[in-house]
Amino acid sequence: MPYLYLLSAIVFSASLSILGTCFNAKNKGKKHISNLYNLLICCSVTLSWSIIYIFDFSFEPKVLLYSVGYGICYTLAMIGHIKALKSGSVALTAFVKQLSLVGVSFWGFAFWDTPLTTNTVIGLVFIAIALSLCFFTGHKKAEENSAPSVTLKWLIYAALLIVGNAGCSIVQKYEQMAFDYKHGSMLMVFGTLVASITCLILFLREDKPNWREVVKTSWHFPTAAGVSSAVLNLFIILMASTTLSPSVIYPGIAVGGLTLTTLASVVFFKERLKWSQWIGLGVGVIALVFLNF
């Protein structure tokens, strides 16, 4: 069962970048739409977690502090993700998103007393190689498929994504450890509610010339992404209470999510890959084998 949770988390993790890319492609050239996307996705996440919370109700006032921290991190991650997808390379953005989860593994080694075995070290080394091969080689130099160059704007959004995404996972883990793996649904409901309110404020403060048209034609992308995000976090919480080590969970999601995103880019977005990227995917599979022993 723990490995079924991991496989499901990989699928939903990959869907976030794919849906965000579809939204940007659908609304190419339109200004001030990122905050609308984030508002819709956060509302969808909050609604999804509210339904889960009904069947897993609990309340502990002290958890609200963790919820605020989670909401702040979640907002940063959402802003960084959609804006990085829009302003830079989709492949690099997917790499950064997954790399932030690998960073949680090192946090585990430093602060959670996660055992560092030889196989784990080898697996993490292979993950670094796999991610490097998948990203830094980029797409073939075809004019229609060339990846955008790395800019200062993209670097800022990528930094927000890294900090926010890693922060979400770390706050989740600390809350689960502090309350004996209880109140996970409460953390998510109030945390995503904080994020929704923050995104609403950001949306109301900016010009909104195209928002009605965007909602009418593209509402399903952020809605589906919100549901995927909620289900992804549910599986992460479930895995936190199993025997799976964080050094397996987070790198597994990282490599698996990046692999599925790459495959989707080939099948659905018709992007052409270099031979070195396919080698990277193979190295990622080897990494997961080492991490599971």
The pLDDT tens digits of the residues spanning 9-29 come to 999 988 998 999 899 889 888
Tokens for 95? Answer: 């790499």
C-alpha to C-alpha distance for 245 and 12, rounded to whole angstroms: 20
User: Quick one: pLDDT band at residue 142, thresholds 50, 70, 90?
Assistant: very low
Higher pLDDT pick, 291 / 85:
85
pLDDT tens readout for residues 185-236: 999 999 999 999 999 999 998 877 778 888 999 999 999 999 998 888 788 8
Mean pLDDT value across residues 70-99: 85
Region for residue 183 given its phi and psi (left: phi exceeds 0; alpha: psi -120 to 50; beta: otherwise): left
Sequence spans of domains, the chain: 2-291
pLDDT tens readout for residues 160-179: 998 898 899 899 889 988 99
Indicate the Cα dihedral angle 142, 96, 202, 195, nearest 10°.
140
C-alpha to C-alpha distance for 109 and 105, rounded to whole angstroms: 6
Q: What is the pTM of this model?
A: 0.80
